[in-house]
Amino acid sequence: MELQEIIISVIFLACIVWVGNHIYHYFRQVKDDDNPCAHCATGCDLKRMMEEKQQQCKDKSKKKKKSCCG
């Protein structure tokens, strides 16, 4: 085997290990109930929907407050 083939094989193996490691960590976060949007590079639709739902709940709780004098 030539030196060039050995170097290419080592680089290829390193890439496979790197990708496998990232896939493993992704599924481990999902298994541990980590926030799925914590590591998103772009806007996450799930996070946006969750924030909208929280805002709706806050709005409803403000409307339900009763006055002690009324």
pLDDT digits (tens, 9 = 90+) for 7-39: 999 999 999 999 999 988 877 776 666 665 666
Cβ–Cβ contacts within 10 Å for residue 29, how many? Answer: 14
Torsional sign, CA 54, 55, 58, 59: negative
pLDDT digits (tens, 9 = 90+) for 51-66: 888 888 877 776 665 6
